Amino acid sequence: MVENERHLLELCGVSVGFPEKRRGLKLVTQGVSLHVNPGEAVGIVGESGSGKSVSMLASVGLLSGGGRIVEGSVRFLHGEKYIELNTLGQKELNEVRGDEISMIFQEPMTSLNPLMSVGHQVEEMLVLHTDCEAGERREKVLAMLKEAGLSDVEALYGKYPHQLSGGMRQRVMIAMAMILRPKLLIADEPTTALDVTVQAKILKLLKKFQTEYGTAILLISHDLGVIKSVCSRAVVMCGGRVVEQGGVENLFGQPKEDYTKKLLAAALGKENVLRQAHTQNSGEVVVRVTDYSVFYEEKAQKTKRGAEGDCDMAAKKSGLSALLCKKTRREVVKHVSFELYAGEIVGIVGESGCGKSTLAKALAGLNPLTGGTAFISCSQPQMVFQDPYGSLNPTKTIGWLLTEPLRLHHVGTKEEQRRAACEMLDKVGLGAEYYSRYPGTLSGGQRQRVAIAMAIMLRRRFILLDEPVSALDVTVQEQILVLLVKLQKEFGLTYLFISHDMNVIHRICDRVFVMYGGEIVESGEALQIFDNPKHPYTKKLLGARV
C-alpha cells in the first residue's frame, strides 16, 4: 500500500450502536476500520449479522431504527479535502449521496418505487442533482439505460418496475446509481436475489463501470465467489469486527484467521463432497413419475379457487385437470418422467421460473392441476420449505409443532408424543430445552432444523426439500447439509433436493436433474453431470458458478 496515496473513503474505528430497551446502546459493530482507494473495488464478506451492511449504511447516514455511529469517524475525499460524513447534517449529506456516493441494494423490487415509471426514477437523479433541460435529461437517461445493458430503452422508459424481471430491475438500479458518475458505488448484496446466470452478467456490468469510469466499488456480499470475481481487495467481518483484510488472492489463497478458513471451507464445496455417487441402487422404486405436467391457471378463475382446499392425493391421481377447460391453464412443468429409488438423494437444479418448485409442490399434493401420473410408495410425502420464517407457525411452541403430526394421526399418548418430539429435537441437534420455545426466538438455521424435524416426525420415507438451505448463511448451510445426510442414513430416507445452487447440489446429491423451461433437459449421476455436462444449458449453469 502506498503511504501517500489518498483514500477515497476511510472508516476509522467505527462503532455503530442501536438504542436498546432500558439498557442504553447495543453495539452492533466495534471499531471497524477500512478504506477504499479511488477506482478500487473492495469487498466486504461476512455472514448475516456480522455488521457488514450496518457499518456501510451508518457511514452514509442511512440507518433506521435509531442506530448511529457512537465512535470513530468516516472520512470521504470531497474535491481536494476530506469531509467527515458522520458529522454532516441531513442536507449536506444529501448532496454527497447520489452525487458522489450512490448505493444499490439487494432487492430491486423494493428499492424501486412501484408507482413511478423506471425512466422517471432514473431521471429523478438528474432533476435533484443537476440543472439539465427536460429533453437533455431524457437523452441522458436513455443513454444510461442502454449502457446498463438494457435493450429497447425507449419502450422501457415508460414501464413500471413490476413489468421487469429481477435482473432488469437491478440494471435499472445500477443505471440510477451510475448516471451521475459517482466516485463511489456501494453495492449491498446486489446479486443475491438473482439467478446465477443473471448474477454473472450483473457482476460483469459492475466491473465494466469500475474500469471505464474509475468508480470505486464497495461490494457487500456473503458470497465469496461474487467478491472474488469483482474485487481486488476484501475485508472479512464477523460479529461486528474486521477479522482479516487484504488482497483477494492472498486472503483467499492463504487465509490467516480461523474464521476466514471456515468461511472458505464452507463456500468451496467442491473439495468437500458429502456424498459420493456410489449409490447402492436397491432397485426399490419410491417415486415413479410418468409424463407428468403441472399447470397454473393463467388468470385466477374465481370459481376454481375452491378446489385448492381438497387437493389431497386422491384428487390429484384422479386427474382433476380433466375437468378444467384448457385455455385458462399454463403448463409450468412439461411432461417430465423419472424414477427415484429408495435411499437416494436426487437434486433438481435450475433457475427461478424453471418449474422446479412447482414440480415439488405438485408431488406433495399442494397443486391439484396436474396431468400424467405420479406414483409415490409412501402416503403423503413431507416437505421442507425454503423460508424458515414462513414455514413455522409463529404462534405455536416448537413442542406443539413437533407433536402436531402425531396428534393429527393419533399416534401415542400425550406423554409418548412429548417424548418423541424431544428425541427428534436431539436428533436434529437442538436438544429438549427447545421444546417450549417459540420460533421467533430461534435463528434461521435453528428454525430449519425444526422444519426438518417436523418433516421426519411421521417417518415418511420420501421427503421433498425445496431450497432448504438457500436462505441460510454459508456456514449454517454446511451444518444443515451435514444434518440432512446424517438423517438420511439414519432413517433410510429418500430426498428430492431442489436448489438453484450448483455447489450445494454437487455436495449432497447422488443424481441430478437439470430443469429448464419446465422440462428436464439433462439427467444423470452427479459426478457425470458436473464433470461432463452435455446440454448447453447445464454448461451455462456450471460456467456461471463463481
Measured from the CB atom, is 434 or 537 closer to another protein? 434
Does 382 sit near another protein (CB under 8 A)?
yes
Measured from the CB atom, is 180 or 238 closer to another protein? 238
* Minimum CB–partner distance for residue 21 and another protein (Å): 5
Does 109 sit near another protein (CB under 8 A)?
no
Beta bridge partners of 188: 220
Helix (H, G, I), strand (E, B) or coil at 207: helix
Does 306 sit near another protein (CB under 8 A)?
yes
Does 385 sit near another protein (CB under 8 A)?
yes
Instruction: Name 254's Cβ contacts closer than 8 Å, sequence gap at least 6.
Output: none
Q: Quick one: CA torsion of 360, 364, 367, 369, rounded to 10 degrees? A: 90
Does 12 sit near another protein (CB under 8 A)?
no
Closest CA to 9 of 65, 80, 85, 69: 85
Report how far residue 158's alpha carbon sits from residue 223's, in angstroms, rounded to the nearest whole number: 34
Closest CA to 71 of 28, 126, 39: 28
| Burial class of 20 by CB neighbour count within 10 A (0 to 12, 13 to 18, 19+) | exposed
Q: Which stretch binds another protein (CB under 8 A): 215-223, 349-357, 437-445, 496-504?
A: 437-445
Spatial contact of 243 and 30, defined as CB atoms under 8 Å apart:
no
Q: Which stretch binds another protein (CB under 8 A): 209-217, 272-280, 387-395, 508-516?
A: 387-395
Q: Which stretch binds another protein (CB under 8 A): 143-151, 327-335, 417-425, 440-448?
A: 440-448
Among 7, 35, 361, 500, binds another protein (CB under 8 A): 361
* Minimum CB–partner distance for residue 256 and another protein (Å): 26
* Minimum CB–partner distance for residue 427 and another protein (Å): 18
Binning the chain into helix, strand and coil, the percentages to the nearest 5 are 40, 25, 35
Report how far residue 289's alpha carbon sits from residue 372's, in angstroms, rounded to the nearest whole number: 8
* Minimum CB–partner distance for residue 29 and another protein (Å): 10
Does 387 sit near another protein (CB under 8 A)?
yes
Q: How far is CA 507 from CA 245, 259, 501, 512, in A?
A: 29, 21, 10, 11
Report how far residue 72's alpha carbon sits from residue 12's, in angstroms, rounded to the nearest whole number: 5
Measured from the CB atom, is 209 or 434 closer to another protein? 434
Does 166 sit near another protein (CB under 8 A)?
no
Give the other-Cβ count within 10 Å of 434's Cβ.
23
Nine-digit cell string for 534: 452435455
Does 391 sit near another protein (CB under 8 A)?
yes
Binding mask 46-75 for another protein (x = CB under 8 A): --xx-x--x----------xxx--------
Alpha carbon 245 to its chain's center = 25
Q: Which stretch binds another protein (CB under 8 A): 12-20, 185-193, 274-282, 317-325?
A: 12-20
* Minimum CB–partner distance for residue 415 and another protein (Å): 21
Among 393, 433, 459, 539, binds another protein (CB under 8 A): 393
Does 343 sit near another protein (CB under 8 A)?
no
The footprint of another protein on this chain (CB under 8 A) covers a number of residues equal to 50
Helix (H, G, I), strand (E, B) or coil at 381: coil
Nine-digit cell string for 121: 426514477
Does 82 sit near another protein (CB under 8 A)?
no
Give the other-Cβ count within 10 Å of 228's Cβ.
18
Measured from the CB atom, is 310 or 490 closer to another protein? 310
Beta bridge partners of 221: 45
φ, ψ for residue 167, nearest 5 deg: -65, -40
Measured from the CB atom, is 171 or 460 closer to another protein? 460
Measured from the CB atom, is 151 or 395 closer to another protein? 395
> Which residue ranges make up the site for another protein (CB under 8 A)?
18-21, 26, 28, 48-49, 51, 54, 65-67, 302-303, 305-306, 308-310, 361, 364-366, 380-383, 385-387, 389-396, 404-405, 408-409, 440, 443-444, 451, 454, 457-458
